[in-house]
Structure 1
Amino acid sequence: MKFTKYILFICVLWGMFACSLSKNLPENSYVLEDNRLEGVEKSNKSEIEGLYFQEPNTRIPLTNSSLGVTIYRIGQSFYDSAKVTARLDAKNSELIEVNARLEQSEDRKKLLKKRDKIQTKIQDLKKLQEYGNFLMRTGNPLAVLDSALTEKTVTEIDNYLYNKGFLDAEVSFSVETRKKKAKVSYMINEKEPYLIDSIYTNSVNEGLLSLINNTKEKSFIKQGDRYDQTNFTRERDRLEELFKNNGYYMFTKSFIDYNLYYDTAEHQINVEQRILKPSFSEKHEVYRIDSITFKVSPPSDQFIDEKVGKNFRNIDFTFYRDRFSAKLLGSRILFDEGQKYSRIDIVETQKQLSNLDLFRYINISFDTLGNSLTAKILTQPNQKYQLTNQLGLSITEQLPGPFFSMVLRNRNFFRAGEILEFNTRAGFEGVASATDQGVYQSKEFGISGSVIFPRFLIPFYGRSLEKFGRYNPNTRTQIGYNYTNRPEYTRSGLNGLLAYTWVTRGNRQQFTINAADVNYVRTPQISRDFAQVLLDLESQGNNLIWSFLPSLISSFSAQSIINFNNYGNYTSLNKASLLKLFVESGGTTLNFINTSSNSETTDFARFQWLKLQADFRRYYPLNQKSTIAYRANFGIANPYGVSNGILPYEKYFFAGGGTSIRAWQARRLGPGSYTPPIGDRGRYDYAFEQPAEMIIETMLEYRRNLVGYFDMAVFVDAGNAWVIGVDNSRPGADFRYDRFYKEIALGTGVGVRMDFNFLVIRLDLATKAVDPSMPEGDRWVLDNISFSNLFGLKGQTVLNFGIGYPF
């Protein structure tokens, strides 16, 4: 056994040496091992580090090897640039031949199809020639020290410091070499930065001067600030937007100029901001909307002679057929005849018309006559029917869960912008049985039909469409059916929904009100063993059995989603955050009816509850390759009245799983310090889902690009779920102020993501660090992990597979 270990150890060492970065390196060539930055005191170090034209390869710790370089070398061994070039030349010749035949042939259909295939192949070969094969694009080439790139980096840093106010800064570099490795040090002497002493605006246009003076507090150039070229660029953009939103249609930022006067003794700058005159006029003019026309052109493959003209709100509509509502479209046009031109109104109009999902494109242009504008809106209808299919895979309880969904849309169903939508979803999900230690695949099926109205319906009347059109109002009416077949029971539900949705200007905030959400739920089949479990719980004071009786569940809910700075765009280098607020009142109508609580003879369950949830997410980029993401989630649900302290099962909170505390299996954490029964497979083998009425979760994740499509993550998750009030069947499950902080579960781990832009595949390996189900004093379980036991006790480490980011 020891001999085998020695052989394995020698093989690992040999593999590391074979993949050594400095292997077979030419004479006088060095692998770039590190970039160092010295002397940075007042400027932004991370921004300067982002200016390096050459960076070292990401190494495997304690080795002289890199995963990215190894992948690249493997791909390179299969790559023959000469063959790629020859194939590309052959395809180009073939394309020339096909084009020549097209000019002479009468049957062009087959030749056009062949030409398209050749052009696609040529594009693929060009990509292969420039970037290499898939493995080469996934990996990274070896970073060999290049003095030209080092000097280019020095120049770039020097320019950066100058533009940030360090006009007298000095930048130099030195290279330290040892054993075919090189370390580059960039030395910076910032010296004294230049400050803005005064700002003066020079313009003969009183209107522009008035706008500038009235918005001085919003200016990016302020007295006493350090000189920053970026702020001058931002101020030019701000002024252009300001002027265009106040009627100055022809104004561009090229009319804004700056003269800087330097005081080298005091290290100060006096700024003259000049508004230049246009060459085509004596001064910048304010433009007004003279007339508005809206045309819906026929589909490109049709020629239709029929035309329909309408006028609404002084807007001239022309439709190729009488299938569109002038009133609806007019409600989404946010500017009027006689109004001053405002670019933000034009942009918002384009967004609102696009949100209707009726048109392929929205083109808004203007004709000028003097200082009057004729607004022309040109559109073309989208395809009436759209079928979307999705095939996916999720893994829970270490079992694959394939699913298939289909969406069929019928646009402009009632000729007033409505959308008829049918949704179908079928799939499997891995679940652990609540009656034994087995794991099964749950079957799920759902179908629904919806009509989405681009307006508010009941109880809104009169001019509500025109009044609220700028908020992109939608009313969804839906009816659906869901079926679940689990090891313990089968469950079906018929549901109906009336929901209102609208957004604020700029789509920053979205509001949803579910005015009526009604579900009729039945559990027609319950296994004998599971029924016994529910009866045992009931004998201990836990009335979970009522959640599995036939019931009519109705609720009223509202949700607000506030998106700060385009959260969800993970390629952005800007900080972003998202806040979701949700409140729900269930069984509210029962308050107006004289009802008694569920009794022992009740065979139809009724529920009343209040629910509140807040979910905050934050995305903070450190540099182009690294980001920190954070999430905090709090929720509480309180059953009251006829509910006997029970919620509908779907309304409970559950902790644990791939988008929760990842070191616990899905829905298995908590509640509180409750200790599940110890099964044959050890303490960490949780068989039961753990419904709770309160949840607190926080997650912190560091993400970094490793190589090509591969990203890594290091994360820490903390939280738990609790019940409100004592649950005799689960001792320690109740929330108490004097001990809840001792029951916070802690999990940590590492993850790998494959980010293909259109799809993110995620693998997270998480281990329990603090387990609240253990007795006090023994809850720190991370020390169970050692070199001889990498994953700790059985069940301590969990592998999560998912699609997309966890938050």
Structure 2
Amino acid sequence: MNKAKYINFLVLLVLISSCSLTKGLKDGEYLVYNVKIKGVKKSDKGALYNMIRQTPNTRIPLINTSIGVSIYNFGEWTFDSTKQQIKRAEYEQERRELIQLNEEGGLNKKQTKRLNKVNSYLETLEKRLEYGNFFMRTGNPRVVMDSAKTLESAQQMRFLLANNGFFDAKTDFSVTTKRKKANIEYLIYEGEPYVVDSFLTNSDDPKIYTLLEKSNSASEIKIGKIYEQNALTRERQRVEDLLKDNGYYTFSKSYIEYNVYEDTVEHSVVVEQIIRKPIYSDFHRVYTLDSIFFSVDPPSLNFIDNSEVTYFRDIEFDLYDDRYSEKIISSRIFLEKGALYSRSNVIDTQRQLANLDLFRFVNIAFDTIGNTLRPKIFTQPNQKFQITNQLGASITEQVPGPFFSHSLRNRNLFRGAEIFEFYFRAGLEGVVSATGEGGVFRSRELNTSASVIFPQFLFPFAAGSLETLGRYNPRTRTLIGYSYINRPEYIREAVTGAISYNWNTRTFRRQYTVNLLDANFIRSNLDEEFYALLDDLRDQGNNLINSFLPSYVSSISGQVIFNFNQYGAFQKNKASLWRLFFESGGTTLNFVRDDFVDNRSLAYFQFLKFQSDFRRYIPITNKQTFAYRINLGLARPYGVSNGVLPYEKYFFAGGSTGIRAWQPRRLGPGSNVPTQDYRFEQPGEILFEGMFELRTKLYGYFDAAYFIDLGNSWTFQDDPTRPGANFEFNRFYKEIAVGTGVGLRMDFDFLVLRLDVGVKAFDPGRPLGQRYVLNQFFRSFPGFRGQTVFNIGIGYPF
């Protein structure tokens, strides 16, 4: 039955895309079927591919068809441009009549509403006439060879090579045609690259010359490296930034020129940098700052401004209704009277004042008197209360479930720039029971919390630290919360209290979090069958039941996130993210007597936990990106924990953001043989995950991914109930699970919907010699029961 379903799906897919790409082409028209570049040895081949004006349509392997083209053709077949033009003419006539009525005597409410609708209709029609209907915008037209674009591509490649040091480069192309298909081959002759022999600076201003000499090591133009045109652009920007940070308020990169002298014999260049004088002066002016003025204006003209001018740290404050702390605000202003003008300090001031989340905008202007600047900072209050309600669906295990969330934000709670946040979330979700006979069961979750965020570090920091650390956006969060989870096998409640410090570097490349206290009182109510299962495991030597006893779990932890090149914001740039996390649980118990935890009604835990999570994007072409993730985790109980961790502190392998060929939390540990069709969650103390993914644009909103995941979890000690679960150096590499598969994503920019199909390739839960199972997938599609796993998710897996 399952085989028939999959076969029918594939047949339907082929029927939809059955139209040949070359069908219907006119005489002399050829489909761009394949494009290659030959002759590249030292230059950037990926950048050269980006110069190609016509690239082949994405095709289904082994079949001369494209789903994107089929969708476009369907849209073109159903699109009537004449009908759209007639509609546009009718609406334009109606709009002219309404505008004339408005000019003669004005429009009533109904007519005004109609005019707005007509304008909206016209905007939609213009979009349709330019880009076609939905199917045409989603799909892709056939790429028919255009010799002019092919010639232009070759020329652009030559320009690119010349701009990157290959001055003698030549480009050509050849086209071979067969059965209405064109194979284009671009031929590259790079020649010898030109290297930078020397870099000189020419300036009549001794102060500027001295600044540039001192910063010469940071220059973007490197002697001995291949000449690069973009390096001059970067160096021009660097010089402008350097001078603007040293008082040169009116300086701009338009004053910087470059001369490049070629030596065709030695294949080298000499780069000369010239700093031109201002038109009406022999020198560029250096500006210093006068006193600073800071103003918080009323929200609108309807409010009466009862503020009074006050002074603090050489800053003149004019605060609307006297609602704000001069001390806090001044700690985020990095401009000082008598100091040189610095654009970096201006940007930091604007950024850190905005980070307070108190103001709608932050504008900084300057009054100029001679060589003196008086900074004026103008702001306006943000709304006092912000309420957000959200209704949606989420998924972590099996099927999506609805959720509702409510959040309240109260700004400037105690008039010291504090932020009060209240959060509530309730949801349902489908999960697999640990004790049921299969199927999907309902899980209910409820979370609520209240927190106050202070724009400074509280105790035990000295008073002067407020100004010293203001540039790093310091925050102290105090939180109290409650969570409730109702699963088929247990009900779990927790009351949480936390105090944490957060800060980041000026460039936001590093973010730090230190949780000074994370205390949780936990109570569990176990299903009778689940309790019997845990009790049976205890009799066999597994103390997992202790993780579900009424308990007190406290810890201190720290985290640092290294974010390079805005990872997560863009997938077109090479970017990476590295998260390091360390946690120590029950630390204070090391300083009390051993009998402190004896005969207590609550269970206590001591543990150490570490996690390293590294992620990276590597663009290959403008349509393809290679991404990977390496995740390593260690969690070790000790002391009073009796060899167990709090259940939430264990690692779990498998699922839509892990090894996708296994169901969530069901992989491992080690070579443990899963029982009863992976129905049991498998907690581990050691985690290793490696995820490798090739992402490619298909058409419109649709993307595809091809992935290989590998990893597993292990325990530190032998587990009598799970033979082979412990980590051993002489066999762990034989227990690394491998899964592969494909994914389909719909990327709407603001939301990514994801479907991944994972297939087990190497299953460590099977006997040695029988662990390679990918051949069974091809032998009897879709393989044995449980070999193919579907994962639905929101957002990218990493």
TM-score normalised by L of structure 1: 0.94
Which residue does the alignment assign to 2:579? 580
Which residue does the alignment assign to 1:741? 733
**Contact 2:366 2:373 survives alignment (8 Å):** yes
Distance 1:637 1:351, change over 3 A: same
Please give the residue correspondences for 1:305-454 in structure 2 after superposition, counting only pairs within 5 Å.
Answer: 305-438=305-438, 439-454=440-455
Deviation at 1:102, TM superposition (A): 3.8
State the distance in 1 between where 2:588 and 2:103 align: 75
Distance 1:803 1:18, change over 3 A: closer
Distance 1:336 1:85, change over 3 A: farther
State the distance in 2 between where 1:89 and 1:280 align: 57
Deviation at 1:667, TM superposition (A): 0.5
Secondary structure, aligned partner of 1:210: helix
**Contact 1:102 1:111 survives alignment (8 Å):** no
Equivalent AA in structure 1 for residue 739 of structure 2: G
State the distance in 2 between where 1:130 and 1:236 align: 40
Please give the residue correspondences for 1:234-253 in structure 2 after superposition, counting only pairs within 5 Å.
Answer: 234-253=234-253
Equivalent AA in structure 1 for residue 576 of structure 2: S
Secondary structure, aligned partner of 1:213: helix
Which residue does the alignment assign to 1:682? none
State the distance in 1 between where 2:124 and 2:91 align: 11
Which residue does the alignment assign to 2:723? 731
Deviation at 1:106, TM superposition (A): 6.2
Distance 1:592 1:11, change over 3 A: closer
Deviation at 1:113, TM superposition (A): 4.9
Which residue does the alignment assign to 1:213? 213
Deviation at 1:266, TM superposition (A): 3.3
Deviation at 1:257, TM superposition (A): 0.5
Please give the residue correspondences for 1:624-639 in structure 2 after superposition, counting only pairs within 5 Å.
Answer: 624-639=622-637
1:656 equivalent to 2:654? Answer yes
Deviation at 1:598, TM superposition (A): 6.9
Please give the residue correspondences for 1:768-783 in structure 2 after superposition, counting only pairs within 5 Å.
Answer: 768-783=760-775
Which segment drifts farther, 508-517 or 426-435? 426-435
Which residue does the alignment assign to 1:90? 90
**Contact 1:168 1:191 survives alignment (8 Å):** yes
**Contact 2:199 2:270 survives alignment (8 Å):** yes
Deviation at 1:568, TM superposition (A): 0.9
State the distance in 2 between where 1:268 and 1:594 align: 75
1:154 equivalent to 2:154? Answer yes
Please give the residue correspondences for 1:301-700 in structure 2 after superposition, counting only pairs within 5 Å.
Answer: 302-438=302-438, 439-523=440-524, 525-573=525-573, 575-596=574-595, 603-677=601-675, 679=676, 685-700=677-692
State the distance in 2 between where 1:63 and 1:318 align: 71
Deviation at 1:258, TM superposition (A): 1.2
1:800 equivalent to 2:786? Answer no
Which residue does the alignment assign to 1:759? 751
State the distance in 1 between where 2:431 and 2:8 align: 38
Deviation at 1:467, TM superposition (A): 2.2
Deviation at 1:301, TM superposition (A): 6.2
Q: Deviations over 1:172-197 (max 9, x none)?
A: 22222221111222222222333333
Equivalent AA in structure 2 for residue 383 of structure 1: Q
Which segment drifts farther, 499-508 or 428-437? 428-437
**Contact 1:394 1:801 survives alignment (8 Å):** no
Distance 1:214 1:628, change over 3 A: same
Deviation at 1:36, TM superposition (A): 2.1
State the distance in 2 between where 1:764 and 1:747 align: 12
Deviation at 1:799, TM superposition (A): 0.5
Distance 1:701 1:592, change over 3 A: same
State the distance in 1 between where 2:785 and 2:120 align: 52
Distance 1:32 1:387, change over 3 A: same
State the distance in 2 between where 1:336 and 1:791 align: 70
Which residue does the alignment assign to 1:708? 700
Equivalent AA in structure 2 for residue 740 of structure 1: F
Which segment drifts farther, 545-554 or 7-16? 7-16
**Contact 1:597 1:643 survives alignment (8 Å):** no
Distance 1:337 1:604, change over 3 A: same
Which segment drifts farther, 337-346 or 79-88? 79-88
Secondary structure, aligned partner of 1:483: strand
Which residue does the alignment assign to 1:291? 291
**Contact 1:348 1:506 survives alignment (8 Å):** no
**Contact 2:173 2:185 survives alignment (8 Å):** yes
Which segment drifts farther, 494-503 or 37-46? 37-46
Q: Deviations over 1:461-516 (max 9, x none)?
A: 42332222111011111111111111111111111111111111111111111111
Deviation at 1:638, TM superposition (A): 1.3
Q: Deviations over 1:616-662 (max 9, x none)?
A: 11111112111111111111111111111111111111111111111
Distance 1:673 1:13, change over 3 A: closer
Q: Deviations over 1:737-779 (max 9, x none)?
A: 2221111111111111111100011111001111111111111
Which segment drifts farther, 239-248 or 162-171? 162-171
Secondary structure, aligned partner of 1:166: coil
State the distance in 1 between where 2:10 and 2:611 align: 55
Distance 1:101 1:294, change over 3 A: farther
Q: Deviations over 1:665-699 (max 9, x none)?
A: 1111111111122x3xxxxx211111111111111
Secondary structure, aligned partner of 1:784: helix
Please give the residue correspondences for 1:169-208 in structure 2 after superposition, counting only pairs within 5 Å.
Answer: 169-208=169-208
State the distance in 1 between where 2:466 and 2:76 align: 62
State the distance in 2 between where 1:131 and 1:758 align: 21
Deviation at 1:423, TM superposition (A): 0.6
Distance 1:666 1:20, change over 3 A: same
1:278 equivalent to 2:275? Answer no
**Contact 1:196 1:224 survives alignment (8 Å):** yes
Equivalent AA in structure 2 for residue 643 of structure 1: S
State the distance in 1 between where 2:634 and 2:10 align: 56
**Contact 1:243 1:251 survives alignment (8 Å):** yes
- Structure 1 residue runs of 5 or longer lacking an equivalent are 680-684
- Structure 2 residue runs of 5 or longer lacking an equivalent are none
Percent identical pairs in the alignment equals: 53
**Contact 2:101 2:107 survives alignment (8 Å):** no
Which segment drifts farther, 529-538 or 195-204? 195-204
State the distance in 2 between where 1:9 and 1:710 align: 18
1:223 equivalent to 2:217? Answer no
TM-score normalised by L of structure 2: 0.95
State the distance in 1 between where 2:592 and 2:406 align: 41
Secondary structure, aligned partner of 2:405: strand
Distance 1:610 1:11, change over 3 A: closer
Equivalent AA in structure 2 for residue 407 of structure 1: S
1:791 equivalent to 2:782? Answer yes
State the distance in 2 between where 1:705 and 1:10 align: 21
State the distance in 1 between where 2:743 and 2:379 align: 46
Deviation at 1:322, TM superposition (A): 1.4
Secondary structure, aligned partner of 1:785: helix
Q: Deviations over 1:410-467 (max 9, x none)?
A: 1111111111111111112222222232331211011111111111122234233222
Equivalent AA in structure 2 for residue 795 of structure 1: G
Equivalent AA in structure 1 for residue 750 of structure 2: F
Distance 1:732 1:11, change over 3 A: closer
**Contact 2:256 2:273 survives alignment (8 Å):** yes
Equivalent AA in structure 2 for residue 714 of structure 1: Y
Distance 1:496 1:181, change over 3 A: same
State the distance in 2 between where 1:8 and 1:693 align: 43
Which residue does the alignment assign to 2:260? 260
Distance 1:397 1:255, change over 3 A: closer
Q: Deviations over 1:720-740 (max 9, x none)?
A: 111121111111111122221
Equivalent AA in structure 2 for residue 701 of structure 1: E
